[in-house]
Structure 1
Amino acid sequence: MHRVVVHNGLVFIGGTVADDMSAGLEGQTAQILAKFDEYLKVVGTDKTRLLSATIFLTDLNRKSEMDQAWKRWLPPERFPARATVGVADLGEDTLIEIMLTAAVG
Structure 2
Amino acid sequence: MLQVNRLEKNSRRSRAVMHGNTVYLGGQVGTDLDGDIKTQTRQALEQVDRLLTAAGSERKKVLSVTIWLKTMDDYEDMNAVWDEWIDGDEPPARCCGKVDMTDPRIRFEITVVAAI
Amino acid aligned to 2:94:
R
- Match of 2:73? 61
Secondary structure, counterpart of 2:94 in structure 1 = strand
RMSD: 1.1
- Match of 1:83? 95
Secondary structure, counterpart of 1:18 in structure 2 = coil
Q: Distance in 1 between matches of 2:91 and 2:42?
A: 16
What is the percentage of aligned positions where both structures have the same residue?
30
Amino acid aligned to 1:30:
R
Structure-to-structure mapping, 1:85-104, within 5 angstroms: 85-104=97-116
1:50 aligns to 2:66 (yes or no): no
Deviation at 1:82, TM superposition (A): 0.4
5+ residue gaps, structure 2, are 1-7, 9-13
- Give TM-score, length-normalised by structure 2: 0.85
- The partner residue of 2:47 within 35, 38, 42 is 35
> What does the per-residue CA deviation read over 1:67-104, in whole Å, with 9 as the maximum and x for residues that have no partner?
01111011232210001011133413100110000000
- Match of 2:4? none
- Match of 1:7? 19
* Higher RCO structure, 1 or 2 (CA under 8 Å, sep 6+): 1
Amino acid aligned to 1:64:
E
- Give TM-score, length-normalised by structure 1: 0.93
- Match of 1:20? 32
> What does the per-residue CA deviation read over 1:25-63, in whole Å, with 9 as the maximum and x for residues that have no partner?
011000000111110111111001000000111101220
Alignment size in residue pairs: 104
Q: Distance in 1 between matches of 2:32 and 2:93?
A: 27
Instruction: Give the direction of change, closer, same or farther, for the CA distance of 1:35–1:89 in structure 2 (3 Å limit).
Output: closer
